[in-house]
Structure 1
Amino acid sequence: MSFCMTKFSKAELEWRDGFVPVSTKYDDVYYSLTNGLEESALVFLNGVGGKDLWENKQNTIIGETGFGTGLNFLATWREWKRSAKSDQRLTFVSVEGFPLSRAQLQKSLEPWDELSDIRDALIKAYPDLSPGFHTLEFEQDRVTLILLFGDVQDVLSQFSGQVDAWFLDGFTPKKNPEMWNVDVYKLLARKSKPGTKLASFTAAGHVRRGLESVGFKIEKHKGYAFKRERIVGEFSSVEADEDKKVVHSGSLPWFDIPKVRNKPKKVAIIGAGIVGNCLAYSLSRAGVDVTLIDKAPSVAEGASGNPAAVFEPKLMRNGTVLGQYLASCYLFALSFYRKLEEQTGEKIWHHQCGSLDLIGDDKELQRRQSFVASNVLPQDHFSIVDARGASELAGIDLTSSAVWYPYAGCLNTTALAKALTAEIDVRLNCEVTSLEPYANHGQCNWKLSVSGSSEDLEFDSVVLANAFNARNFTQSESLSVIMNRGQVSTCLPNKSSTDLKTIVNGSGYITPAIKGQHVFGATFERLYCYDEAENKSVTTEHHGHNLSLLNEIVPNISTQIDLSALGGRTSVRGTTFDRLPLVGPVYDEDQYRNDYAGLKNGQKSKSFWPQGEYYQNLFCAVGFGSRGFLTAPLMANYLMKLICGCDALPIPNEIRDAIHPARFLMRDLKKGL
């Protein structure tokens, strides 16, 4: 089954003794009636070595099957706060097939006042329920919790990385066989390395034998409270029959991404749009010295500098990589922008006013209803309203039903850019003309030549975040980025638009008044040469196009616009043919063509092909199109993890492959092009 079709159900609980959660599906408690917190510390954390687990590691990854109430995570976080050094980081990756709601989580954790600070932080950050990966950051991003909501085999197979320890929790094996079987154990082994620790509350014979069959050495220890025995273990190697061997394999070899050996100290990001700015912020918080370079006179000068950025989810049916990608990006960005406002004090929203996505006809209504039923987004993040309900929400008369997105809004692009780059070394009016690799103590570092200067800039790693201009460099000239020019228009409020309270979206869109003007649009024009991209004139023709779009969705507003007071802005975006960005290491095109030329002959065995070759420490994040403000925060977090050599990535392998920079080249090679 594709990860994007993973099964997902909400927890159904009853309460024992007033506060102990019990699963009605499995008729089992979530933690010991004796003392759940003590059980978490003794059985799980101490079972894998306690604070010794991270004593000599800069990055520690703990995996868990069965997040439940989060008590194991909180017990681990508490000990990590007590004993970790300031430069150490903890990543906790936890699978949950039946997640609790925020209210259920809060009630479950009420007894543990000694955890109040971290408990409350977890409850505040805990995601609204939807399937997939959910990344939460704590302690100035030094503690990361990645929740994998869905079937254990579906989601764990999509996790990229090897852990230092496993907590095998969940309901008792007798009642929950889906969690305790050899297929799951093989996945645990694939995500382990020699020395990976393991701890569990159960000592059932079939569990011990299953874990031993995939390479874990298991010991029985005295159990907690009324349990007679528990187990601890360590992964060594697989010394079993051939059919039981565990293969450490990931995606297709041309999509395999080598791990960065050493975290870089200095990184250059070329391009100060929303993507580059988000990445600069993420890398800086990871302790990297970042230089943000742009040829423009200010940050967010291109398409990222429109008067307002409309932020809303893109609702698509679950079961597609694109749908899961957009849902994951939306939920991460919503949390990211909230935290950014809290941390910087910048007012990054003009209005978080909600958005109405108009539904044109009955066929479209049925399609949207099927999206709603697919649960790709949490239920309170969207709903279908009739024309009357849409009109009440918008504050103006609308004639069609709509999808209502209550958490959508208009981002203040200027304030957002300021918040992201306030502590970053920004070099403006600075055009990078070439990239040259050089060897430095066995590593490939980079020299940047800059126009108007005879002195090269030197960095450990470089990221191209400059849209279609990334193709100007020899190493990245084959990146499949195309150019689209678009114009947005602005107008003064009129009698019919004064009461507009939400974004209205259809064939075009219009925002509520922002600093005395509505923003509406927009045009999309494919460009084929760089000379065309230099023309960013605001034209009457394109105003006319935007007015016609506006007339389709809110004719009562469009007919009263003062045409003499129209304003606008034109910019050029980089996008791709499948509307997914190119994010990851920059591939070596010549080596790819040489290594994979035989694909056109139909040879598809994974073992036949070498891993893809890349330019070491050169990365890209381009092709975001009009979805940059929606998708940049999560993509920046993902790329930051790659650049810093982190094993635990915040996106599933299917999405990682779908945004791989070499995917269009690979399609061509398979066709013999």
Structure 2
Amino acid sequence: MSKAIAIIGGGLAATACAYSLKNDAGQHSVTPVIFEAGERLATGASGNIQGIYDPRFQKLRNGVGDYFFAAFKLAFQIFSGIQERTDIGFDPCGTLYLIKSEDERAYYQAMIENQRLSGDDVRIVSAQEASAVSRITLRHDALFLPHSGFVSPALLCAAQARDIDVRLSAPVRNLEQRGSGWRVNGEPFDSVIIACGFAARYFSGCEWLPLQNVRGQMIVCPANGNSANLACNINYGGHISKPVDGLHVIGSTFQQNDTDLSLRESDNERILARLKENLPSIAEGMKASRAAAALRTASKDRVAITGLVPRKGEWTTQKPVFYDNLYLSTAHGSYGIISSLASARMISDQILGHAPHFSEETRKAVAPDRFLYRLERKGRI
């Protein structure tokens, strides 16, 4: 008998869950159904012009670091496979992180050692080697991620939702538990995954989640004579992408609890000023031909929220209590292109009864009830 899985949302988190359930099912029969309130998939930040994918750096080896580096490797594997079948704008061109201080160098070196990362994953390169990799002259040594690159988030969402039952203009107005299952707008499902960003808080039992909106504006600039040869992405506090069809994507701002999506010339100027400060040789004369702004959803600790929804009013550390078969995948922030995939794999393991792909420490690092543990330690629940 097929398991019916309702997935609320239509962005990276939701479509990644549908893709993972379908592709990891094996001998199981599952029917994912996506409920998207809007008229199309990939609204909001999931519809950004371009998405550079790389891990969030962690100096120490812990569950959070393991989560992001596992997500990074999984993303490269999945993007490579999808790109063979359909274009998602995938280009594993690599990314250089400029090292502008000895503190940064020490941090990256400690991260490489503590995380036991191989040179194939990440390594420190001299300014000379960074210049050779990027094909422009750079003044700084850099951290190089050879398998980093970019994809089109909108094309990725479409590819992940291929052959999935997608309900557009279908807001979920009623989510009701029935036994161990659920009814979504009156339709029965075995499990539900809430993967709709900040809107997760609108569902009963999720109001307490420590979510916030983060506004980001990015710009598109025509390549100039100095930047046209750029062969990889460069991060310098901001970032500039390798040009595609003669255009760079440059970004971005990070504005917490700001939900105004009107475009700001002051943001464009700030983005270009940061580029000029760090890469003056390619910034000369560069102007924005267009801009885009979107909201990302982040958690209080800047880590995704993934797993079963706890019953906050009944939950204790001695006896954690959860809603049956109700899952979250939200708060992916700036790393949603990769973290949405890791969270989807984690949830599909639980729904399908597979052996976990992630350690217990990693699963706890992203579990929704981590915030309840912290509140209880402070005597606030």
Q: Answer yes or no: is the 8 Å Cα contact 2:228–2:246 preserved in 1.
A: no
Give runs of aligned pairs for residues 239-388 of structure 1, distance below 5 A.
265-285=3-23, 286=25, 287-342=29-84, 345-388=85-128
| Contact 2:46–2:154 (Cα < 8 Å) also in 1 | no
Letter in 2 for 1:338: S
Whole-Å separation in 2 of the counterparts to 1:670 and 1:382: 37
1:447 aligns with 2:183: yes
TM-score under structure 1 length normalisation? 0.54
CA-to-aligned-CA distance 1:467-491 (integer Å, 9 cap, x gap): 1110001121112222111111111
Distance 2:283 2:38 in 1: 34
Question: Identity, % of aligned pairs?
Answer: 30
Does the alignment pair 1:406 with 2:177? no
Q: Residue 339 of structure 2: which of 631, 640, 644 is its match?
A: 631
Alignment deviations for residues 85-130 of structure 1 (CA, whole Å, 9 cap, x no partner):
xxxxxxxxxxxxxxxxxxxxxxxxxxxxxxxxxxxxxxxxxxxxxx
Structure 2, unpaired ranges of 5+: none
CA distance in 1 between counterparts of 2:287 and 2:132 reads 26
Aligned partners of 1:430, 1:274: CA distance in 2, in Å?
Answer: 17
The equivalences for 1:84-103 within 5 A come to none
Cα distance, 1:318 vs. partner?
A: 4.5
Whether the 8 Å CA contact 1:505–1:553 is kept in 2: the answer is: no
Equivalent-residue separation in structure 1 for 2:78 and 2:350 (angstroms): 19
User: Is 1:670 aligned to residue 377 of structure 2?
Assistant: yes
Q: What residue is the counterpart of 2:286 in the other structure?
A: 561
TM-score with structure 2 setting the length: 0.93
Q: Counterpart amino acid of 1:482?
A: Q
Q: How far off is 1:501 after superposition?
A: 1.0
Aligned residue for 1:475, secondary structure, equals coil
Contact 1:583 1:620 in 2 (8 A): yes
Shift of 1:295: 1.4
Q: 1:571 aligns with which of 294, 310, 316?
A: 294
Tell me how far 1:357 sits from its aligned partner: 0.6
**Alignment root-mean-square deviation, CA:** 1.8
Deviation of residue 264 (structure 1)? 6.4
Letter in 2 for 1:467: G
Residue 191 of structure 2 aligns with which residue?
Answer: 461
CA contact (8 A) 2:54 2:335 kept: no
CA contact (8 A) 2:64 2:366 kept: no
> Which residue of 2 is the match for residue 397 of structure 1?
137
The aligned amino acid for 2:66 is: Q
SS in 2 for 1:568: strand
Question: Match for residue 617 of structure 1?
Answer: 325
Q: 1:267 to 1:541 in 2, by over 3 A?
A: same
Following superposition, the deviation at residue 552 of structure 1 comes to: 2.8
> Equivalent of 2:175, from 423, 426, 435?
435
Q: Would you identify which runs of 4 or more consecutive aligned residues in structure 1 move more than 4 Å? A: none
Between the aligned partners of 2:122 and 2:149, the Cα distance in structure 1 is 13
Indicate which of 225, 243, 266 corresponds to 1:513: 243
Corresponding residue for residue 118 of structure 1: none
Number of equivalenced pairs: 376
Residue deviations 1:38-78 (CA, integer Å, cap 9, x gap): xxxxxxxxxxxxxxxxxxxxxxxxxxxxxxxxxxxxxxxxx
Kindly indicate whether the alpha-carbon contact (under 8 Å) linking 1:521 and 1:549 is maintained by their aligned counterparts in 2: no
Structure number with larger C-alpha Rg: 1
Residue 589 of structure 1: aligned partner: 312
Structure 1 residues 138-287: aligned runs within 5 Å: 265-285=3-23, 286=25, 287=29
Distance of 2:193 and 2:361 partners within structure 1: 23
Deviation at 1:525, TM superposition (A): 0.9
- Helix, strand or coil at the partner of 1:296: coil
Give 1:649's aligned residue: 356
The change in CA–CA distance for 1:306 and 1:277 in structure 2 (over 3 A counts) is same
> Per-residue deviation at 1:409?
0.7
Give, in whole Å, the separation in 1 of the partners of 2:113 and 2:310.
Answer: 39
1:307 aligned partner, one-letter code: I
- Partners of 2:191 and 2:108 in 1: how far apart? 44
How far does residue 376 in structure 1 lie from its aligned partner after superposition?
2.9
Query: Could you report, residue by residue, the CA deviation over 1:581-624 in whole angstroms, capped at 9, with x for unpaired residues?
Result: 111111111112xx45xxxxxxxxxxxx22x1111111111111
Letter in 1 for 2:207: E
Q: Is 2:13–2:340's contact at 8 Å kept on the other side of the alignment?
A: yes
Supply the distance in 1 between the matched residues of 2:108 and 2:86 (Cα, whole angstroms).
Answer: 35
Query: 3-state DSSP class of the match of 2:303?
Result: coil
1:173 corresponding residue in structure 2:
none
Amino acid at match of 1:447: R
1:483 aligns with 2:213: yes
Question: Matched residues in 2 for 1:391 and 1:549: separation?
Answer: 20
Task: For residue 120 of structure 2, give the secondary structure of its aligned residue in structure 1.
Answer: helix
Aligned AA (1:656): R
Q: Deviations over 1:607-646 (max 9, x none)?
A: xx22x11111111111111111122222211100112233
Q: How far apart, CA to CA, are the structure 2 residues paired with 1:614 and 1:315?
A: 31
Match of 1:250 in 2: none
The change in CA–CA distance for 1:327 and 1:376 in structure 2 (over 3 A counts) is farther
The match for 2:274 is: 549
Structure 1 unaligned blocks of 5 or more: 1-262, 450-455, 597-608
**Larger RCO, structure (CA 8 Å, separation 6 or more):** 2
Report SS of the residue matched to 2:16.
helix
CA distances 1:232-287 after superposition (whole Å, capped 9, x unpaired): xxxxxxxxxxxxxxxxxxxxxxxxxxxxxxx9611110111111111101112313
Residues 318 and 376 in structure 1, CA contact (< 8 A), matched pair in contact too: no
The one-character-per-residue Cα deviations of 1:197-237 (angstroms, maximum 9, x if unpaired) are xxxxxxxxxxxxxxxxxxxxxxxxxxxxxxxxxxxxxxxxx
Residue 296 of structure 1 and its aligned partner are, at CA, apart by 2.0
Structure 2 distance, partners of 1:387, 1:638, is 39
Given residue 588 of structure 1, which amino acid in structure 2 is its aligned partner?
R
Question: 2:192 and 2:141 mapped to 1: Cα distance?
Answer: 47
Q: How many Å apart are 1:651 and its aligned residue?
A: 0.5
Distance in 2 of aligned mates of 1:333 and 1:550: 28
Q: Give the secondary structure class of the aligned counterpart of 2:10.
A: coil
1:471 to 195, 198, 201: 201
Task: Confirm or deny that 1:536 pairs with 2:261.
Answer: yes
Shift of 1:350: 4.1
> 2:188 & 2:293 partners in 1: Cα distance?
34
Contact 1:507 1:552 (8 Å CA) reproduced: no
Q: Could you tell me how far apart the structure 1 residues matched to 2:263 and 2:242 are?
A: 22
2:251 is aligned with what amino acid? Answer: G
Contact map agreement 1:307 1:413 (CA 8 A) in 2: yes
Distance in 2 of aligned mates of 1:633 and 1:421: 13
Q: Which amino acid in 2 is paired with 1:523?
A: T
> SS at 1:615's partner residue?
strand
- Match of 1:283, SS state, is helix
1:426 matched to 2:166? The reply is yes
Structure 2 letter corresponding to 1:509: H
1:376–1:481 Cα change, 3 Å:
farther
Query: What are the within-5 Å matches in structure 2 for residues 70-85 of structure 1?
Result: none
